[in-house]
Amino acid sequence: MAAQHTPALPVLGSRKPSHRERVADALRAALIAGELRPGEVYSAPGLATRFGVSATPVREAMLDLAKEGLVDTVPNKGFRVTAVSEQQLDEYTHIRALIEIPTTAKLARTADPVALEALRPVAREIVTSAAVGDLIAYVEADLRFHLGLLALAGNGHLVDVVRDLRRRSRLYGLTALVEQGRLEASAEEHLEILDALLARDEEAVRAVMTRHLGHVRGLWAAP
């Protein structure tokens, strides 16, 4: 089940996210993790209870998600989660691979080791979240890790594109991976990526990133 808190995703830059934005981030993570299911209608008061916040920021956040096409408004009832087709998921993953694999691999030559090490606590947070089966925390930490890596390339537009692709994706198979005890293996790959980057091994980074992103439409994609 979703964690009873409103976890915050750091915004790249100096501005701190508002309460509304933090709620929206938590709702997006629940969508991506598949905890809010396509076709289901959710009320703002029901989601507020689930996330331990008041209904107003939830309603405002869901309106933001509606603008992004992640939910549709249902008058007098709430919000319906939009479905994502298999073809759309394949296309999102393909674009992500074209961007993230070479960009991350190049960081083996260009990234500051201190900046890379700063991401190790986030990588460990991903592993911990996988171990306890907290899917929302897993998705949030995974997003922070990968966007944090991409930010080291110095291209803010690239980071925005990948952030949008990740928001639109769905990882319906995460719950099954937790039950099968397989999510931790995927989580450990974040530490592998860091170690390969710090070793300046570009080919190793490329290999781990290719395997890691392959999970999105392999291990994680079971509807």
CATH code of the domain covering residue 127: 1.20.120.530
Q: Are 107 and 205 a contacting pair, CB within 8 Å? A: yes
According to DSSP, the residues that pair with 74 across neighbouring strands are 78
- Residue 79 tokens, joined: 């919000």
CA atoms within 13 A on the CB side of 27: 32
Residue 56 sits in a domain whose CATH number is 1.10.10.10
pLDDT of res. 1: 37
Same domain, 63 and 126: no
**H-helix or E-strand spanning residue 57:** helix 55-67
Same domain, 90 and 200: yes
Asked if residue 36 lies in contact with residue 52, where contact means CB atoms within 8 angstroms, the answer is no
pLDDT, tens digit only, all 223 positions of the chain: 333 343 333 333 334 567 888 888 888 888 887 788 888 999 999 999 988 889 999 999 999 899 888 899 999 899 999 988 888 888 988 999 999 999 999 999 999 999 999 999 999 999 999 998 888 889 889 999 999 999 999 999 999 999 999 888 877 667 777 777 778 888 999 999 999 999 999 999 999 999 988 876 655 544 4
Check whether residue 44 and residue 153 sit in a common domain.
no
Per-residue tokens: 177: 């991976």
H or E stretch at 42: strand 41-42
Q: What are phi and psi of 115, to 5 degrees?
A: -65, -35
Q: What is the pLDDT of residue 222?
A: 47
Task: Note whether 76 and 154 are same-domain residues.
Answer: no
Looking at the structure of the chain, the number of domains it has is 2
Do 111 and 168 reside in the same domain of the chain?
A: yes
Structure-token match 């570009």, residue found: 202
Q: What is the pLDDT of residue 8?
A: 38
Both 25 and 92 in one domain: the answer is no
- 145 and 73 within one domain: no
Where in the sequence is the domain holding 31, given as residue range(s)?
19-81
Read off φ and ψ for residue 118, nearest 5 degrees: -65, -20
Both 102 and 147 in a single domain?
Answer: yes
